[in-house]
Protein backbone atom coordinates (compact mmCIF):
# COMPACT_ATOMS: atom_id res chain seq x y z
CA UNK A 1 0.00 0.00 0.00
CA UNK A 2 1.30 3.45 -0.98
CA UNK A 3 -0.12 6.65 0.63
CA UNK A 4 -0.27 10.10 -0.93
CA UNK A 5 -1.07 12.93 1.46
CA UNK A 6 -3.28 15.80 0.27
CA UNK A 7 -4.71 19.03 1.69
CA UNK A 8 -8.10 17.36 2.18
CA UNK A 9 -6.94 13.93 3.43
CA UNK A 10 -4.98 11.13 1.79
CA UNK A 11 -5.07 8.42 -0.90
CA UNK A 12 -3.99 4.85 -0.29
CA UNK A 13 -2.99 3.18 -3.58
CA UNK A 14 -2.92 -0.61 -3.79
CA UNK A 15 0.30 -0.10 -5.79
CA UNK A 16 2.21 3.10 -6.65
CA UNK A 17 1.05 4.56 -10.01
CA UNK A 18 3.67 3.98 -12.69
CA UNK A 19 4.18 5.23 -16.23
CA UNK A 20 7.15 3.77 -18.15
CA UNK A 21 7.31 -0.01 -18.56
CA UNK A 22 4.05 -0.41 -16.67
CA UNK A 23 2.13 -3.42 -17.92
CA UNK A 24 -0.93 -2.62 -15.77
CA UNK A 25 -3.45 -0.20 -17.20
CA UNK A 26 -5.59 0.16 -14.06
CA UNK A 27 -4.95 2.24 -10.93
CA UNK A 28 -6.95 1.43 -7.79
CA UNK A 29 -7.01 2.73 -4.22
CA UNK A 30 -9.03 4.19 -1.37
CA UNK A 31 -9.45 7.93 -0.78
CA UNK A 32 -10.12 9.37 2.68
CA UNK A 33 -11.47 12.94 2.90
CA UNK A 34 -11.53 14.42 6.37
CA UNK A 35 -14.70 15.88 7.81
CA UNK A 36 -15.56 19.33 6.44
CA UNK A 37 -12.96 19.23 3.66
CA UNK A 38 -13.26 19.96 -0.03
CA UNK A 39 -11.49 18.40 -3.04
CA UNK A 40 -11.25 21.38 -5.46
CA UNK A 41 -12.48 21.33 -9.01
CA UNK A 42 -10.14 19.21 -11.16
CA UNK A 43 -10.02 17.40 -14.51
CA UNK A 44 -9.70 13.64 -14.96
CA UNK A 45 -7.13 14.04 -17.73
CA UNK A 46 -7.15 11.08 -20.10
CA UNK A 47 -8.70 8.52 -17.75
CA UNK A 48 -12.13 7.41 -16.68
CA UNK A 49 -12.96 6.45 -13.12
CA UNK A 50 -15.43 4.31 -11.17
CA UNK A 51 -16.04 5.36 -7.54
CA UNK A 52 -17.74 3.28 -4.83
CA UNK A 53 -18.60 5.05 -1.55
CA UNK A 54 -17.41 2.90 1.36
CA UNK A 55 -18.55 5.20 4.16
CA UNK A 56 -19.58 8.79 4.82
CA UNK A 57 -21.62 11.20 2.70
CA UNK A 58 -21.10 14.33 0.64
CA UNK A 59 -21.71 16.11 -2.64
CA UNK A 60 -20.17 15.45 -6.07
CA UNK A 61 -20.21 18.00 -8.85
CA UNK A 62 -19.48 16.11 -12.09
CA UNK A 63 -19.36 18.20 -15.27
CA UNK A 64 -21.48 20.86 -13.56
CA UNK A 65 -24.13 18.43 -12.30
CA UNK A 66 -24.65 18.18 -8.51
CA UNK A 67 -25.06 14.66 -7.12
CA UNK A 68 -25.39 13.55 -3.49
CA UNK A 69 -23.33 10.55 -2.44
CA UNK A 70 -23.54 8.15 0.50
CA UNK A 71 -22.42 4.70 1.57
CA UNK A 72 -23.03 1.98 -1.04
CA UNK A 73 -23.43 4.32 -4.03
CA UNK A 74 -21.52 3.81 -7.30
CA UNK A 75 -20.49 6.57 -9.72
CA UNK A 76 -18.88 6.63 -13.18
CA UNK A 77 -16.81 9.61 -14.31
CA UNK A 78 -15.95 9.68 -18.04
CA UNK A 79 -12.51 10.65 -19.32
CA UNK A 80 -11.70 14.37 -19.08
CA UNK A 81 -14.61 14.95 -16.68
CA UNK A 82 -14.51 18.03 -14.44
CA UNK A 83 -15.01 16.82 -10.85
CA UNK A 84 -15.37 18.42 -7.40
CA UNK A 85 -16.12 16.80 -3.99
CA UNK A 86 -17.50 18.21 -0.69
CA UNK A 87 -17.55 16.16 2.54
CA UNK A 88 -20.80 17.29 4.18
CA UNK A 89 -21.16 14.38 6.61
CA UNK A 90 -20.19 14.03 10.29
CA UNK A 91 -17.35 11.63 9.50
CA UNK A 92 -14.61 11.06 6.95
CA UNK A 93 -15.74 10.28 3.42
CA UNK A 94 -14.04 7.08 2.14
CA UNK A 95 -14.21 5.89 -1.45
CA UNK A 96 -12.89 2.93 -3.44
CA UNK A 97 -11.83 4.09 -6.91
CA UNK A 98 -10.59 2.35 -10.06
CA UNK A 99 -9.05 4.47 -12.84
CA UNK A 100 -8.25 3.37 -16.40
CA UNK A 101 -6.60 5.43 -19.14
CA UNK A 102 -8.70 5.90 -22.26
CA UNK A 103 -7.49 4.80 -25.67
CA UNK A 104 -5.67 7.44 -27.67
CA UNK A 105 -5.43 6.41 -31.29
CA UNK A 106 -5.06 8.43 -34.47
CA UNK A 107 -6.23 6.66 -37.63
CA UNK A 108 -3.63 7.47 -40.28
CA UNK A 109 -5.82 6.20 -43.10
CA UNK A 110 -8.22 9.12 -42.64
CA UNK A 111 -5.51 11.77 -42.99
CA UNK A 112 -4.31 13.42 -46.15
CA UNK A 113 -0.69 12.63 -46.95
CA UNK A 114 1.75 15.34 -46.00
CA UNK A 115 3.98 16.71 -48.72
CA UNK A 116 7.48 15.37 -49.32
CA UNK A 117 9.95 17.00 -46.95
CA UNK A 118 13.37 16.79 -45.39
CA UNK A 119 13.76 14.98 -42.06
CA UNK A 120 14.35 18.31 -40.33
CA UNK A 121 10.92 19.55 -41.56
CA UNK A 122 9.08 16.27 -40.97
CA UNK A 123 7.67 17.28 -37.56
CA UNK A 124 6.20 20.53 -38.87
CA UNK A 125 4.62 18.71 -41.80
CA UNK A 126 3.27 15.96 -39.53
CA UNK A 127 1.69 18.49 -37.15
CA UNK A 128 0.00 20.21 -40.10
CA UNK A 129 -1.79 16.91 -40.74
CA UNK A 130 -2.35 15.79 -37.13
CA UNK A 131 -3.07 19.10 -35.40
CA UNK A 132 -6.89 18.98 -35.46
CA UNK A 133 -7.14 15.41 -34.05
CA UNK A 134 -4.50 16.24 -31.44
CA UNK A 135 -6.35 19.33 -30.27
CA UNK A 136 -9.70 17.52 -30.29
CA UNK A 137 -8.55 14.52 -28.22
CA UNK A 138 -6.23 16.21 -25.73
CA UNK A 139 -7.46 18.25 -22.76
CA UNK A 140 -4.05 18.28 -21.07
CA UNK A 141 -2.40 21.68 -21.66
CA UNK A 142 0.49 21.09 -24.08
CA UNK A 143 2.94 22.83 -26.37
CA UNK A 144 4.89 21.15 -29.20
CA UNK A 145 8.40 22.47 -29.97
CA UNK A 146 10.60 21.69 -32.94
CA UNK A 147 14.26 20.69 -32.62
CA UNK A 148 15.32 24.35 -32.42
CA UNK A 149 12.91 25.18 -29.58
CA UNK A 150 10.33 26.99 -31.74
CA UNK A 151 6.64 26.53 -30.90
CA UNK A 152 4.78 24.81 -33.74
CA UNK A 153 1.51 23.87 -31.97
CA UNK A 154 -0.32 24.29 -28.62
CA UNK A 155 -3.86 23.87 -27.35
CA UNK A 156 -3.81 26.86 -24.95
CA UNK A 157 -5.58 25.02 -22.09
CA UNK A 158 -3.27 26.45 -19.45
CA UNK A 159 -4.37 27.11 -15.87
CA UNK A 160 -5.77 30.62 -15.36
CA UNK A 161 -2.88 31.29 -12.98
CA UNK A 162 -0.30 30.34 -15.68
CA UNK A 163 -2.04 32.50 -18.29
CA UNK A 164 -2.24 35.54 -15.97
CA UNK A 165 1.27 35.18 -14.52
CA UNK A 166 3.59 33.81 -17.22
CA UNK A 167 1.56 33.95 -20.45
CA UNK A 168 3.10 30.73 -21.86
CA UNK A 169 1.01 30.89 -25.04
CA UNK A 170 2.22 34.30 -26.20
CA UNK A 171 5.46 34.99 -24.32
CA UNK A 172 7.31 31.69 -23.90
CA UNK A 173 10.54 33.49 -23.03
CA UNK A 174 9.03 34.71 -19.72
CA UNK A 175 7.74 31.26 -18.69
CA UNK A 176 10.32 29.01 -17.06
CA UNK A 177 8.29 25.93 -18.00
CA UNK A 178 8.98 26.73 -21.67
CA UNK A 179 12.75 26.37 -21.26
CA UNK A 180 13.42 22.97 -22.77
CA UNK A 181 15.84 20.40 -21.33
CA UNK A 182 18.50 18.72 -23.46
CA UNK A 183 17.67 15.36 -25.02
CA UNK A 184 20.02 12.82 -26.57
CA UNK A 185 19.28 11.86 -30.18
CA UNK A 186 18.37 8.29 -29.33
CA UNK A 187 15.20 6.28 -29.16
CA UNK A 188 15.78 5.64 -25.47
CA UNK A 189 15.39 9.30 -24.44
CA UNK A 190 13.07 9.37 -21.43
CA UNK A 191 10.44 11.84 -20.33
CA UNK A 192 11.81 14.62 -18.11
CA UNK A 193 10.06 16.96 -15.71
CA UNK A 194 10.60 20.40 -14.23
CA UNK A 195 8.98 22.21 -11.27
CA UNK A 196 8.88 25.98 -11.57
CA UNK A 197 9.22 28.60 -8.81
CA UNK A 198 5.44 28.57 -8.34
CA UNK A 199 5.42 24.84 -7.54
CA UNK A 200 3.94 23.68 -10.87
CA UNK A 201 5.34 20.60 -12.64
CA UNK A 202 5.70 20.23 -16.43
CA UNK A 203 6.52 17.05 -18.32
CA UNK A 204 8.81 17.11 -21.38
CA UNK A 205 8.36 14.18 -23.79
CA UNK A 206 10.91 13.90 -26.65
CA UNK A 207 9.85 13.19 -30.24
CA UNK A 208 12.53 10.91 -31.71
CA UNK A 209 12.16 9.32 -35.18
CA UNK A 210 14.71 6.68 -36.19
CA UNK A 211 17.24 8.05 -33.71
CA UNK A 212 16.77 11.68 -34.87
CA UNK A 213 15.53 14.19 -32.31
CA UNK A 214 12.78 16.26 -33.98
CA UNK A 215 11.40 18.15 -30.98
CA UNK A 216 9.41 17.62 -27.79
CA UNK A 217 6.01 18.03 -26.14
CA UNK A 218 5.78 20.11 -22.95
CA UNK A 219 2.59 19.68 -20.93
CA UNK A 220 0.88 19.27 -17.60
CA UNK A 221 1.51 22.44 -15.57
CA UNK A 222 0.09 21.01 -12.32
CA UNK A 223 0.90 21.00 -8.62
CA UNK A 224 2.36 17.58 -7.98
CA UNK A 225 2.39 17.23 -4.16
CA UNK A 226 0.81 18.80 -1.14
CA UNK A 227 4.09 18.44 0.73
CA UNK A 228 5.85 20.76 -1.75
CA UNK A 229 5.70 24.48 -1.22
CA UNK A 230 3.43 26.33 -3.63
CA UNK A 231 3.30 30.07 -4.13
CA UNK A 232 -0.42 29.94 -4.87
CA UNK A 233 -2.63 28.44 -2.18
CA UNK A 234 -5.65 27.81 -4.43
CA UNK A 235 -3.65 25.42 -6.61
CA UNK A 236 -4.34 21.91 -5.35
CA UNK A 237 -2.11 18.82 -5.59
CA UNK A 238 -3.25 16.27 -8.16
CA UNK A 239 -3.66 12.60 -7.26
CA UNK A 240 -0.79 10.46 -8.47
CA UNK A 241 -3.22 8.54 -10.70
CA UNK A 242 -4.07 11.78 -12.53
CA UNK A 243 -0.39 12.66 -12.88
CA UNK A 244 0.17 9.20 -14.33
CA UNK A 245 -2.62 9.77 -16.85
CA UNK A 246 -1.19 13.17 -17.87
CA UNK A 247 2.24 11.68 -18.52
CA UNK A 248 0.76 8.73 -20.39
CA UNK A 249 -1.38 11.01 -22.54
CA UNK A 250 1.61 13.19 -23.50
CA UNK A 251 3.72 10.11 -24.25
CA UNK A 252 0.89 8.68 -26.37
CA UNK A 253 0.84 11.96 -28.30
CA UNK A 254 4.57 11.62 -28.95
CA UNK A 255 4.17 7.96 -29.97
CA UNK A 256 1.38 8.89 -32.40
CA UNK A 257 3.48 11.63 -34.02
CA UNK A 258 6.50 9.30 -34.24
CA UNK A 259 4.37 6.49 -35.70
CA UNK A 260 2.93 8.85 -38.28
CA UNK A 261 6.40 10.09 -39.29
CA UNK A 262 7.67 6.52 -39.56
CA UNK A 263 4.53 5.55 -41.47
CA UNK A 264 5.10 8.45 -43.86
CA UNK A 265 8.79 7.56 -44.28
CA UNK A 266 7.76 4.05 -45.35
CA UNK A 267 5.03 5.47 -47.57
CA UNK A 268 7.48 7.89 -49.19
CA UNK A 269 10.04 5.11 -49.66
CA UNK A 270 7.42 2.90 -51.33
CA UNK A 271 6.26 5.86 -53.43
CA UNK A 272 9.85 6.50 -54.55
CA UNK A 273 10.34 2.81 -55.38
CA UNK A 274 7.07 2.81 -57.31
CA UNK A 275 8.30 5.84 -59.27
CA UNK A 276 11.56 4.00 -59.98
CA UNK A 277 9.62 0.94 -61.17
CA UNK A 278 7.53 3.14 -63.46
CA UNK A 279 10.68 4.74 -64.84
CA UNK A 280 12.17 1.27 -65.33
CA UNK A 281 9.01 0.20 -67.18
CA UNK A 282 9.26 3.27 -69.43
CA UNK A 283 12.93 2.51 -70.13
CA UNK A 284 12.04 -1.13 -70.79
CA UNK A 285 9.37 -0.05 -73.25
CA UNK A 286 11.81 2.30 -74.99
CA UNK A 287 14.44 -0.45 -75.15
CA UNK A 288 11.91 -2.86 -76.63
CA UNK A 289 11.00 -0.25 -79.24
CA UNK A 290 14.67 0.36 -80.00
CA UNK A 291 15.28 -3.39 -80.23
CA UNK A 292 12.39 -3.76 -82.62
CA UNK A 293 13.73 -0.89 -84.72
CA UNK A 294 17.25 -2.37 -84.66
CA UNK A 295 15.95 -5.77 -85.72
CA UNK A 296 14.19 -4.12 -88.63
CA UNK A 297 17.41 -2.29 -89.55
CA UNK A 298 19.48 -5.49 -89.32
CA UNK A 299 16.95 -7.34 -91.47
CA UNK A 300 17.08 -4.54 -93.99
CA UNK A 301 20.88 -4.55 -93.97
CA UNK A 302 20.94 -8.31 -94.48
CA UNK A 303 18.63 -7.88 -97.42
CA UNK A 304 20.88 -5.14 -98.81
CA UNK A 305 24.02 -7.28 -98.37
CA UNK A 306 22.26 -10.24 -99.93
CA UNK A 307 21.53 -8.05 -102.94
CA UNK A 308 25.18 -6.86 -102.91
CA UNK A 309 26.54 -10.44 -102.91
CA UNK A 310 24.27 -11.40 -105.77
CA UNK A 311 25.32 -8.33 -107.73
CA UNK A 312 29.03 -9.03 -107.12
CA UNK A 313 28.56 -12.62 -108.30
CA UNK A 314 26.82 -11.38 -111.44
CA UNK A 315 29.68 -8.92 -112.17
CA UNK A 316 32.21 -11.70 -111.53
CA UNK A 317 30.44 -13.94 -114.10
CA UNK A 318 30.42 -11.09 -116.59
CA UNK A 319 34.18 -10.53 -116.07
CA UNK A 320 34.88 -14.19 -116.86
CA UNK A 321 32.88 -13.92 -120.03
CA UNK A 322 35.07 -10.92 -120.98
CA UNK A 323 38.30 -12.77 -120.12
CA UNK A 324 39.04 -10.37 -117.23
CA UNK A 325 40.34 -12.87 -114.68
CA UNK A 326 41.96 -10.11 -112.59
CA UNK A 327 38.61 -8.39 -112.20
CA UNK A 328 36.97 -11.70 -111.36
CA UNK A 329 39.62 -12.38 -108.73
CA UNK A 330 39.21 -8.95 -107.16
CA UNK A 331 35.43 -9.21 -106.98
CA UNK A 332 35.65 -12.69 -105.48
CA UNK A 333 38.02 -11.50 -102.75
CA UNK A 334 35.86 -8.46 -102.03
CA UNK A 335 32.84 -10.74 -101.71
CA UNK A 336 34.73 -12.98 -99.26
CA UNK A 337 35.72 -9.94 -97.18
CA UNK A 338 32.12 -8.73 -96.97
CA UNK A 339 30.87 -12.23 -96.17
CA UNK A 340 33.43 -12.55 -93.34
CA UNK A 341 32.36 -9.23 -91.82
CA UNK A 342 28.65 -10.08 -92.08
CA UNK A 343 28.75 -13.76 -91.09
CA UNK A 344 30.91 -13.51 -87.98
CA UNK A 345 28.86 -12.66 -84.88
CA UNK A 346 31.60 -13.28 -82.30
CA UNK A 347 33.73 -10.72 -80.49
CA UNK A 348 36.75 -13.05 -80.43
CA UNK A 349 38.16 -15.10 -83.30
CA UNK A 350 41.35 -17.05 -84.07
CA UNK A 351 44.39 -15.07 -85.18
CA UNK A 352 44.65 -17.17 -88.38
CA UNK A 353 41.12 -16.10 -89.38
CA UNK A 354 42.04 -12.45 -88.97
CA UNK A 355 45.27 -12.97 -90.95
CA UNK A 356 43.29 -14.62 -93.75
CA UNK A 357 40.89 -11.68 -93.81
CA UNK A 358 43.83 -9.25 -93.72
CA UNK A 359 45.44 -11.02 -96.71
CA UNK A 360 42.24 -10.58 -98.72
CA UNK A 361 42.38 -6.87 -97.96
CA UNK A 362 46.08 -6.63 -98.87
CA UNK A 363 45.45 -8.45 -102.13
CA UNK A 364 42.89 -5.78 -102.93
CA UNK A 365 45.48 -3.10 -102.19
CA UNK A 366 47.93 -4.79 -104.56
CA UNK A 367 45.56 -3.89 -107.37
CA UNK A 368 46.51 -0.31 -106.57
CA UNK A 369 50.17 -0.62 -105.60
CA UNK A 370 51.26 -3.74 -107.49
CA UNK A 371 54.86 -4.72 -106.75
CA UNK A 372 55.40 -1.52 -104.79
CA UNK A 373 53.52 -3.04 -101.85
CA UNK A 374 55.71 -5.15 -99.56
CA UNK A 375 54.13 -6.91 -96.55
CA UNK A 376 56.10 -8.92 -93.96
CA UNK A 377 54.62 -11.20 -91.28
CA UNK A 378 56.60 -12.09 -88.16
CA UNK A 379 54.25 -14.51 -86.42
CA UNK A 380 55.16 -17.78 -84.74
CA UNK A 381 53.04 -20.60 -86.13
CA UNK A 382 52.14 -21.61 -82.57
CA UNK A 383 50.18 -18.35 -82.22
CA UNK A 384 47.84 -18.95 -85.14
CA UNK A 385 45.15 -20.33 -82.85
CA UNK A 386 45.29 -17.64 -80.15
CA UNK A 387 42.07 -15.66 -79.75
CA UNK A 388 42.01 -11.98 -80.64
CA UNK A 389 39.27 -9.36 -81.23
CA UNK A 390 37.28 -9.69 -84.43
CA UNK A 391 38.19 -7.27 -87.27
CA UNK A 392 41.06 -5.94 -85.20
CA UNK A 393 44.15 -5.83 -87.47
CA UNK A 394 42.74 -4.68 -90.82
CA UNK A 395 41.69 -1.14 -89.67
CA UNK A 396 45.22 -0.58 -88.27
CA UNK A 397 46.85 -1.68 -91.52
CA UNK A 398 44.35 0.39 -93.50
CA UNK A 399 45.36 3.42 -91.45
CA UNK A 400 48.94 2.86 -92.63
CA UNK A 401 47.77 3.12 -96.26
CA UNK A 402 45.70 6.24 -95.57
CA UNK A 403 48.49 8.15 -93.84
CA UNK A 404 51.67 6.38 -94.94
CA UNK A 405 51.07 6.28 -98.69
CA UNK A 406 49.77 9.79 -99.20
CA UNK A 407 53.15 11.30 -99.94
CA UNK A 408 53.70 10.00 -103.53
CA UNK A 409 56.21 7.44 -102.42
CA UNK A 410 57.51 4.72 -104.75
CA UNK A 411 57.13 1.87 -102.25
CA UNK A 412 54.81 0.92 -99.39
CA UNK A 413 56.39 -1.34 -96.78
CA UNK A 414 54.36 -2.86 -93.88
CA UNK A 415 55.57 -5.23 -91.18
CA UNK A 416 53.20 -7.12 -88.84
CA UNK A 417 54.74 -8.72 -85.75
CA UNK A 418 52.79 -10.79 -83.17
CA UNK A 419 54.45 -12.26 -80.07
CA UNK A 420 53.47 -13.71 -76.71
CA UNK A 421 55.11 -12.91 -73.38
CA UNK A 422 53.95 -13.54 -69.80
CA UNK A 423 50.39 -14.34 -70.85
CA UNK A 424 50.01 -11.24 -73.03
CA UNK A 425 49.85 -10.80 -76.79
CA UNK A 426 51.89 -7.96 -78.29
CA UNK A 427 51.04 -6.61 -81.75
CA UNK A 428 53.52 -4.35 -83.57
CA UNK A 429 52.32 -2.88 -86.90
CA UNK A 430 54.97 -0.77 -88.65
CA UNK A 431 54.80 1.19 -91.88
CA UNK A 432 57.67 3.02 -93.57
CA UNK A 433 55.75 6.21 -94.20
CA UNK A 434 56.98 9.62 -93.16
CA UNK A 435 57.42 10.12 -89.41
CA UNK A 436 54.97 12.45 -87.65
CA UNK A 437 56.03 15.73 -86.11
CA UNK A 438 55.20 16.22 -82.37
CA UNK A 439 52.01 18.17 -83.11
CA UNK A 440 50.70 15.58 -85.56
CA UNK A 441 51.58 12.75 -83.19
CA UNK A 442 49.69 14.43 -80.33
CA UNK A 443 46.61 15.00 -82.51
CA UNK A 444 46.58 11.35 -83.62
CA UNK A 445 46.86 10.11 -80.02
CA UNK A 446 44.04 12.39 -78.86
CA UNK A 447 41.88 11.25 -81.77
CA UNK A 448 42.35 7.60 -80.76
CA UNK A 449 41.08 8.03 -77.17
CA UNK A 450 38.34 10.55 -78.06
CA UNK A 451 35.78 7.88 -79.13
CA UNK A 452 35.23 9.74 -82.39
CA UNK A 453 33.74 6.66 -84.06
CA UNK A 454 36.33 6.51 -86.84
CA UNK A 455 39.47 4.55 -87.67
CA UNK A 456 41.83 3.77 -84.79
CA UNK A 457 39.34 5.26 -82.31
CA UNK A 458 36.96 2.37 -83.04
CA UNK A 459 39.73 -0.14 -82.32
CA UNK A 460 40.54 1.59 -79.03
CA UNK A 461 36.85 1.56 -78.03
CA UNK A 462 36.54 -2.11 -78.96
CA UNK A 463 39.54 -3.02 -76.78
CA UNK A 464 38.14 -1.00 -73.89
CA UNK A 465 34.79 -2.77 -74.12
CA UNK A 466 36.47 -6.19 -74.18
CA UNK A 467 39.29 -5.74 -71.67
CA UNK A 468 38.41 -2.70 -69.56
CA UNK A 469 41.74 -1.14 -68.59
CA UNK A 470 43.71 -4.34 -69.15
CA UNK A 471 45.23 -3.30 -72.49
CA UNK A 472 47.66 -0.74 -73.93
CA UNK A 473 47.58 1.19 -77.19
CA UNK A 474 50.59 3.28 -78.26
CA UNK A 475 51.45 5.20 -81.43
CA UNK A 476 55.01 6.42 -81.88
CA UNK A 477 57.53 7.25 -84.56
CA UNK A 478 59.75 4.27 -85.32
CA UNK A 479 63.48 4.41 -84.46
CA UNK A 480 64.71 5.21 -87.99
CA UNK A 481 61.65 6.21 -89.99
CA UNK A 482 57.97 5.41 -90.26
CA UNK A 483 55.22 5.00 -87.68
CA UNK A 484 54.78 2.13 -85.20
CA UNK A 485 51.50 1.06 -83.54
CA UNK A 486 51.96 -1.21 -80.50
CA UNK A 487 49.02 -2.93 -78.77
CA UNK A 488 49.11 -5.30 -75.79
CA UNK A 489 46.13 -7.45 -74.75
CA UNK A 490 45.73 -10.43 -72.42
CA UNK A 491 45.99 -13.86 -74.03
CA UNK A 492 42.56 -15.52 -73.92
CA UNK A 493 44.01 -18.45 -72.03
CA UNK A 494 45.71 -16.21 -69.47
CA UNK A 495 43.40 -13.18 -69.16
CA UNK A 496 39.68 -12.68 -68.56
CA UNK A 497 37.39 -10.54 -70.65
CA UNK A 498 35.35 -7.94 -68.82
The CATH number linked to 45 is 2.60.120.10
- Both 242 and 191 in one domain: the answer is yes
- Both 136 and 85 in one domain: the answer is no
Q: How far is CA 298 from CA 92, 295, 301, 302, 305, in A?
A: 103, 5, 5, 6, 10
- Both 239 and 112 in one domain: the answer is yes
Q: Which of 71, 101, 131 is the last residue of a domain?
A: 101
Q: Which of 67, 101, 135 is the last residue of a domain?
A: 101
Specify if 365 maps to a domain. Answer: no
* Domain count along the chain: 3
Specify if 384 maps to a domain. Answer: yes
- Both 127 and 240 in one domain: the answer is yes
- Both 459 and 439 in one domain: the answer is yes
Given this model, what pLDDT does residue 6 score? 85
- Both 117 and 69 in one domain: the answer is no
Q: Burial, 489: exposed, middle or buried (Cβ in 10 Å; 0-12, 13-18, 19+)? A: buried
Given this model, what pLDDT does residue 66 score? 95
Specify if 498 maps to a domain. Answer: no
Specify if 352 maps to a domain. Answer: no
- Both 86 and 136 in one domain: the answer is no
CB atoms within 10 A of CB 252: 20
- Both 138 and 256 in one domain: the answer is yes
Specify if 336 maps to a domain. Answer: no
- Both 197 and 82 in one domain: the answer is no
Q: How far is CA 49 from the centre of its chain?
A: 48
- Both 85 and 116 in one domain: the answer is no
Given this model, what pLDDT does residue 232 score? 54
Q: Is the dihedral of CA 139, 140, 145, 151 positive or negative?
A: positive
Query: At 471, which CATH number?
Result: 3.30.565.10
Query: At 119, which CATH number?
Result: 3.30.450
Given this model, what pLDDT does residue 23 score? 47
Written as tens digits, the pLDDT of the chain (498 aa) is: 788 888 889 999 887 665 554 545 788 899 999 999 998 888 887 788 999 999 999 999 999 999 999 999 999 998 888 889 999 999 999 999 998 877 666 555 444 555 545 555 778 877 877 776 666 667 788 888 888 888 888 887 887 788 888 877 765 677 888 888 777 655 456 888 888 888 888 999 998 888 888 888 998 888 766 545 554 555 667 788 788 888 888 888 888 888 888 887 888 888 889 889 999 899 888 888 877 776 655 554 544 455 455 556 666 666 666 667 777 777 777 778 777 777 666 778 899 999 998 888 888 888 777 888 889 999 988 898 999 988 888 888 888 776 655 444 556 889 999 999 888 999 999 988 888 888 888 888 888 888 766 678 888 888 888 888 899 999 999 887 888 999 999 986 544 444
| Domain enclosing residue 443, as ranges | 370-490
Given this model, what pLDDT does residue 184 score? 61
Q: Burial, 218: exposed, middle or buried (Cβ in 10 Å; 0-12, 13-18, 19+)? A: buried
- Both 114 and 233 in one domain: the answer is yes
Q: Which of 210, 237, 264 is the last residue of a domain?
A: 264
Specify if 337 maps to a domain. Answer: no
CB atoms within 10 A of CB 406: 10
- Both 161 and 136 in one domain: the answer is yes
Specify if 240 maps to a domain. Answer: yes
Specify if 62 maps to a domain. Answer: yes
Amino acid sequence: MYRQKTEWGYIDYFSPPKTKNDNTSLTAGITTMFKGNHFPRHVHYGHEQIVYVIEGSGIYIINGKIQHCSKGMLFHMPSDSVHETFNTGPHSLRELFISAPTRYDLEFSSFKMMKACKKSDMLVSAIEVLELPLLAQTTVPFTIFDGDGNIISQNGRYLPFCTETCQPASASSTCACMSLPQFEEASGSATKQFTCAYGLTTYYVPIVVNGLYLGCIAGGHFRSSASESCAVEELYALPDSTKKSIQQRLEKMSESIVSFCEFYSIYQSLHDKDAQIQQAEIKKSMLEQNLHFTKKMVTSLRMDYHFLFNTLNTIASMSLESDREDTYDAITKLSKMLRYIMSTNQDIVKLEEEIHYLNLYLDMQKLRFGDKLCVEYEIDEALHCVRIPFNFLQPIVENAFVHGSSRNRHCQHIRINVSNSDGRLLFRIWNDGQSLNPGELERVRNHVVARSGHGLSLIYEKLQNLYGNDFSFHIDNADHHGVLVQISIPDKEGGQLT
